[in-house]
Amino acid sequence: MNTPASRKILGRTILEWFSSLPVFALLLLTLIIGTGEMVHGQLLKLGESMFGDSHAQVQYFMLRAEPVKPDCDVNVNIDAELAKQSAAPSGKTGGDDIDDLFGDQKAADPAVLRKSIEQALAICKAKHELYAKVVQHQTPQVRAYRTLETSFFGLFQIGTDNRPLILLLMVAIAAVTTTLGFHHIGIRPGHYSKDYLLQSVSQVISSALLLFSCVRYYQILQGSGVPIEHPLIHYIWMALFTTLLLINLKRVIMPVKSQFGEGEWSGAFLSIPLYAQMATIAGVYFLIKGHHAGLAIYINQLMELPSIFMNLGLFIWSGMLLKQSRIVDLFMDTLRPWNLSPQLLTYIILLAAAVATAYTGASGVFVIAAGGIIYHEVRASGGSRQFALAATAMSGSLGVVLRPCLLVVMIAALNKQVTTSGLYHWGFYVFLLTSTLFFLTSQMLRTQRANIESPMKALPAMIRQIVPLLPYFLVVAVVVWLYEYALDTKLNEITAPTIMPVILLIILVYDKFTNKGKAELTPDYASHRQEGVEKSIRYATNETIGHIGALLSLMTLSLAMGGVIERSEVMGFFPKVFENHWTAMAFLVVTKVLLGMIMDPFGAVVLVSGTLAPIAYANNIDPLHFWMMVLVAFELGYLLPPVAINQLLTRQVIGEEEVTVADAEVKHLGFYRRYERWILPLVVMTIGLVIVAFGPLAIHDYPQLAFMKEWFPPAGQ
């Protein structure tokens, strides 16, 4: 991040004390919350195995608190109690007036009354017997163990009950830090003085609109006469936007001067943060409509799915920890002996990157984490700068349909018509399709002959390069084994956000201790890597804060833009039922691509679930088919202007200067070579989208294509 220099205290800057340390603590707390349920389940099992007594029918859950002696009397004389109840008047005895609805009550049958008294006495005796057994089992060991177990449960429960608060604190700290570092996502990063000034002006407007909306929302809730739930969340929102407003007001009054000069206003508009643009558009819309609390209402949707966005923070952290280790470099070392062509090497990289993308939550996160390494390796294999940029931008596009991608989990959470297992099953086929398309397209467009090394030479060299990777694989296997057998938790889409950071932390510790002082193992393109475990984790956390602030700010305001689209009822201008499912699918494809061009995936999924998904179902489009199409359409949208988020992140990790050089060296060539970094990903994803969207419909409508049915999701419900 472009954070300003400041005085250090105990080896840390003031910003690190007030930003990195709290966010690091919140990330660890999120890990504890995620692991807490697993650990607590094992503590209960261990308690049952240690202190449960099946013969006495005493289970550990009965011993988790001091037993309370039953207040019933086991020495009741049945005959005396029967006579007492029989002598009671059969009329009103002070009961509820509703008893009058049943008229006069007849006296109870003595035999029935006796049986009732006997049953009550038997229950009372059982309670006293159980109480005696529980008291007998209340040993000092039980009390010590349950203190440990219930204390851990209390800590875990506090974190679970306050997920929205933890998420908001993380977002607030990260947003402030990102603003201080000019790290928000724009069409291009700020470079000149006018860029920074316009960024500040736009954020003054957006922060003022957000603050006004939050204040009005709070006032409306206060005036409703209903107690406000979680008022602290409203206070934090207002404090956040007040802080952002003051930071940017100061920068407007005292503009930041760039060493590169003033720049041009035309270019400065491209550097306006996307979140500020969205906040301004949505805020002005809601003001015009008189819905002053609109912005605040929609950004608070972030609090409705706190686990999803907290997990995204953990995935981002995992990506930054990955950057600090050498594991990607070591993987690339295993491929170098084959002397692969740039196209074939890129294909293999994208296959590996797809798995990593799935395990780091979203396409943008992986581009940020490993984009620089991918770009360098494609260049080192002889690929042009334009091709390397295309490969980097696509590196996060293929894995969003694979297990355990967080986006698929969110889709299943919001749509009961689909399950994660069904989405991942068909997602694997979509992945095979798009990856194969990339390979075929890149081979058709290659400009040099493939020159693969002989297996007799390449295999021994490859095996030698695999040896340094084996300890890393062993670390992964041991951690996964411990979670599966010690905590009874498998690595899947639910547990991946918790397990992956633990794996990468251990890998990072191993990597730094085994390669201490080996400077030659850190090439120039990996100069961000730090020496030592503490410095590496601190640096990774600092990077995580910037990306959490940038990505979650964008996602939060995407929710507001979704609200604008929803409340404007623009979808009402289109028919709910089309003349056939081909027309309906064509309409849905275009709208999904447009949404992907201007919104982040998580915000877009929320919008699509409520507005466009019902249209698909009404037109007899199978939910699995629909959501597979949505995922591919979104990925195409992330590669298209005006936002092209994956291309933006590629520029961010590669550097503006390298992109400028890439454009300059091909300006005299043909159209395709000049725009290869745009055209190649778009061609692959467009063909993939057409096949995914319309392939199942063709198979459904044309019997001669029935042999392909197993390869595509069902076309209709």
What value does the mean pLDDT of the chain take?
A: 85
DSSP 668-698: TS-HHHHTHHHHHHHHHHHHHHHHHHHHHHH
Residues in contact with 521: Cβ distance below 8 Å, sequence separation at least 6, in sequence order: 326, 329, 515
Q: CA 63 to CA 667: how far, in whole Å? A: 77
> Which three-class secondary structure state does DSSP give residue 231?
helix
The conformational region for residue 716 under phi > 0 = left, psi -120 to 50 = alpha, else beta, is beta
Q: Scan for tokens 């603590």, then name that residue.
A: 25
CA nearest to 179, candidates 366, 22, 19, 7: 19
pLDDT at 91 over 70: no
Span 409-429, pLDDT tens digits: 889 988 999 999 999 999 999
- Comparing 106-110, 347-351, 632-636, the range with the smallest average pLDDT is 106-110
Q: CA 239 to CA 247: how far, in whole Å? A: 12
The answer to whether residue 570 is domain-embedded is yes
Q: What angle do CA 104, 105, 110 make, to 5 degrees?
A: 150
- Number of structural domains the chain divides into: 1
Percentage, residues of the chain above pLDDT 70 = 91
Span 169-201, pLDDT tens digits: 999 999 999 999 888 888 878 888 999 999 999
**pLDDT of res. 449:** 63
Q: CA 409 to CA 315: how far, in whole Å? A: 14
451 or 161, which is more confident? 161
Which of 248-262, 326-340, 648-662 has the highest mean predicted lDDT (pLDDT)? 248-262
Span 127-155, pLDDT tens digits: 888 889 888 888 889 989 988 888 878 87
Average pLDDT over residues 531-536: 87
**Peptide bond just before 642 cis, omega within 30 deg:** yes
> Which three-class secondary structure state does DSSP give residue 17?
helix
The answer to whether residue 295 is domain-embedded is no
**pLDDT of res. 17:** 79
pLDDT at 547 over 70: yes
The answer to whether residue 597 is domain-embedded is yes
Q: CA 387 to CA 374: how far, in whole Å? A: 11
The answer to whether residue 622 is domain-embedded is yes
The answer to whether residue 68 is domain-embedded is no
pLDDT at 606 over 60: yes
Average pLDDT over residues 601-617: 86
Q: Which domain holds residue 616?
A: 552-711
**pLDDT of res. 519:** 45
- Comparing 17-31, 118-132, 170-184, 349-363, the range with the smallest average pLDDT is 349-363
pLDDT at 362 over 90: no
**pLDDT of res. 93:** 46
Contact by Cβ (8 Å): 603, 562: yes
**pLDDT of res. 319:** 80
pLDDT at 296 over 90: yes
> Which three-class secondary structure state does DSSP give residue 644?
coil
**pLDDT of res. 92:** 47
pTM of the predicted structure, to 2 decimals: 0.79
Average pLDDT over residues 529-555: 87
The answer to whether residue 113 is domain-embedded is no
Span 467-484, pLDDT tens digits: 999 999 999 999 999 988
pLDDT at 363 over 70: no
Q: CA 435 to CA 685: how far, in whole Å? A: 10
Residue 568: C-alpha distances to residues 169, 565, 592 (Å): 31, 5, 18
Residue 691: alpha-carbon gap to chain centroid? 28
Model confidence at 625, pLDDT cuts 50, 70, 90, reads very high
pLDDT at 101 over 60: no
Contact by Cβ (8 Å): 558, 346: no
Q: CA 38 to CA 60: how far, in whole Å? A: 18
The answer to whether residue 682 is domain-embedded is yes
Residue 524: C-alpha distances to residues 376, 528, 660 (Å): 10, 9, 20
Span 66-81, pLDDT tens digits: 888 888 888 888 878 7
The answer to whether residue 562 is domain-embedded is yes
Residues in contact with 177: Cβ distance below 8 Å, sequence separation at least 6, in sequence order: 1, 3, 15, 19, 183, 545, 546, 549
Q: CA 212 to CA 205: how far, in whole Å? A: 11
**pLDDT of res. 94:** 47
Model confidence at 447, pLDDT cuts 50, 70, 90, reads low
- Label residue 470 exposed, middle or buried (CB < 10 Å: 0-12, 13-18, 19+): exposed
Contact by Cβ (8 Å): 278, 560: yes
Q: CA 497 to CA 491: how far, in whole Å? A: 9
Measured distance between the N- and C-terminal CA atoms of the chain, rounded to whole angstroms: 49
Span 208-234, pLDDT tens digits: 999 999 999 999 999 888 888 889 999
551 or 262, which is more confident? 262
Position 485, amino acid: Y
Contact by Cβ (8 Å): 184, 252: no
686 or 527, which is more confident? 686
Percentage, residues of the chain above pLDDT 90 = 31
**pLDDT of res. 366:** 67
**pLDDT of res. 18:** 81
Q: CA 256 to CA 267: how far, in whole Å? A: 17
